[in-house]
Amino acid sequence: MKHSFFPATSSSKKSYYFTGGIKPPANKKRSLRSVIMDTPIPEFLYLSLKQYSGPDAIPVVCVGDKVLKGQLLANAEGELGVPIHASTSGTIREITNRIIPDEFGHEAGSICIEADGQDTWITRQPITDFKSLGPELLREKIQLAGICGLGGAGFPTGKKFSSNKPIDWLIINGAECEPYITCDQALIRENPETIVSGARILQRICRALHCVIVIEQDKQDAIDALGTAIHDCEIELISVPAKYPSGSERQLIQMLTNQEVPSGKLPQDIGVLTANAGTASAVHNAVINNEPLISRITTVCGDALKTPKNFRALIGTPVSFLLELCGIDYTSLSRLIVGGSLRGFTLKNLDAPIINTTNCLIAGSLREFPPAPAELACIRCGSCTDACPAGLMPQLLYDQIRSNESAKAKQYGLNDCIECGACAYVCPSHIPLVQYYRAAKSDLAAQKLRQRLSAKWQQRFEVRQTRIRLNEKRKKGSRRRSLSRPEGMDVTDTSLENFSRENAKQQIADAVARVKARKNRTPTNTQVKTKNPGEGKP
């Protein structure tokens, strides 16, 4: 059934390996029991203008406007922005600041749609064969549809695929290594053909030589489904060991290509592009069905829910709406996590809406996620070094950060930390290492900013000092009636060079002469009106 052109296939014995990593309990079974469920349309949808760290989109609708499903609501701002589309038909009720799902409880501009329940689409122009469109046209389509990385980072896909660099590998990432998250697995299981089609479109855009789809070995149902959906040898299916964080972009590249992305560079610099499986499916929808990104698969799970499942949730659906669909028990809910249990952040406000990057919601009970035990002393056991996929020595960084040596920590690779949380997971002394690293990183960033600012002020101060010095020299020079240029003087500074008492006297004399000449020309004509006082000047 499945043909493979390349030697490395899921059936071959080649082992895929990256250093470090952990094997936490997957906790994926409960949410995979049922099929993906289309959510009913909530009464109100809140579409945040900020879908990820990029600039906010700019609304093009007004309060009171009637909008159709898929209609453009806000334009992308700049290259890194994503446009926002209405996820259902209805009326714009308000455009205000509202809570968004991020770990700081920030607010951002949001468009509130009151759904009319009709769910009427705008006119779409589906196509059957994407090959009729050129790569650039396809990329534009993706960009206009607002597709961005659905794996969690949310970087605009159109922008990512606009690189001119030659691409060897296009990796469709369905590894989904983090505990609890099952949205990609469910999607691959149920709609593998959309992912394959999306992968082909992306391959056409970036002209990649190889295209592979990666799944972890423990997701046999997804592997089988994809195996039957791939009919030719252009796309290859690879299963990698189930080890966290195999789904992390850099680790995945290391496993598949035996190459490391150099520090501070992007994957495309070594000829690799990655896209999440969900993103590939969204690309298919955008190009073939002409549907913008208005929904995504979100896993809703956790012990506080009766029936955890995967939803095809409209962007903008309030979190509490989804939780209630799963039969949430508010009394046992102790921690709401957005994302997986290792990289996810906690959310305190259940009014926050689903955004493009919300791949998972975990409504955890106290038993499932007990509060962190007291932090004990580091015993340098080295478990964190063994677990770190980035090859860092977390205990060393921790030591340096604790003694306020962030700069030294940077030397030891603090900025190469991907914050996967493997170190903090294995730490027997329960040291919140990721928290320390984040603090130190923002410390370093602030330090850098301060340095830049102080360098700027230093420069301006020096310029001013030079100017003052030059002026004084000139004054002295003019007193001595010396015409020689003082040393160190800025040659380009002509305005200063021309300024001297002689010149000024000359200019005054010239002006007096001009006035006299004008008076002589029109001695009695008082009717001449000048609109602009400067107009009469030569």
* 333 sits near another protein (criterion: CB under 8 A): yes
Helix (H) / strand (E) element for 195: namely helix 192-206
Q: Which of 39, 120, 320, 332 binds another protein (CB under 8 A)?
A: 320
Q: Which of 360, 369, 400, 474 binds another protein (CB under 8 A)?
A: 369
Q: How far is the CB of 424 from another protein (least distance, A)?
A: 5
Q: Smaller CB distance to another protein: residue 71 or 395?
A: 395
Site for another protein in 23-42 (CB under 8 A): 24
Site for another protein in 397-426 (CB under 8 A): 411-413, 416, 419, 421, 424-426
* 365 sits near another protein (criterion: CB under 8 A): no
Q: How far apart are the first and last CA of the chain?
A: 87
DSSP 239: E
DSSP 121: B
Phi/psi zone of residue 323: left (φ > 0), alpha (ψ -120 to 50 degrees), beta? alpha
DSSP 268: G
Q: Which of 7, 123, 125, 374 binds another protein (CB under 8 A)?
A: 374
Contact 255, 16 (CB under 8 A): yes
AA identity, residue 444: L
* 242 sits near another protein (criterion: CB under 8 A): no
Q: In angstroms, rounded to a whole number, what is the distance separating the alpha carbons of residues 385 and 380?
A: 9
* 389 sits near another protein (criterion: CB under 8 A): yes
Q: How far is the CB of 45 from another protein (least distance, A)?
A: 12
510 C-beta neighbours (distance < 10 Å), count: 11
Site for another protein in 129-188 (CB under 8 A): 179
* 271 sits near another protein (criterion: CB under 8 A): no
Q: Smaller CB distance to another protein: residue 158 or 421?
A: 421
* 258 sits near another protein (criterion: CB under 8 A): no
The encoded tokens of residue 485 equal 């240029």
Helix (H) / strand (E) element for 172: namely strand 169-174
* 254 sits near another protein (criterion: CB under 8 A): yes
Instruction: Using CB atoms within 10 Å of the CB of residue 53, give its burial: 0 to 12 exposed, 13 to 18 middle, 19+ buried.
Output: exposed
Could you give the string, one character per residue 345-364, with x where binding to another protein holds by CB under 8 A and - elsewhere?
Answer: xxxxxxx----------x-x
Site for another protein in 424-483 (CB under 8 A): 424-430, 432, 434-435, 438
Contact 195, 227 (CB under 8 A): no
Contact 149, 160 (CB under 8 A): yes
Site for another protein in 1-20 (CB under 8 A): 19
Total site size for another protein, rule CB under 8 A: 75
Stretch that binds another protein, among 116-124, 278-286, 333-341, 469-477 (CB under 8 A): 333-341
* C-alpha closest to that of 51 among 142, 148, 143, 141: 148
Q: Smaller CB distance to another protein: residue 41 or 378?
A: 378
Q: Which of 85, 296, 335, 410 binds another protein (CB under 8 A)?
A: 335
221-246 burial, b at 16+ Cβ within 10 Å, e below that, comes to ebbebbbebbeeeebbbbbbbbbbbb
Q: Smaller CB distance to another protein: residue 24 or 158?
A: 24
Q: Smaller CB distance to another protein: residue 371 or 523?
A: 371
Q: Smaller CB distance to another protein: residue 85 or 335?
A: 335
Q: Which of 282, 337, 401, 440 binds another protein (CB under 8 A)?
A: 337
Q: In angstroms, rounded to a whole number, what is the distance separating the alpha carbons of residues 364 and 27?
A: 12
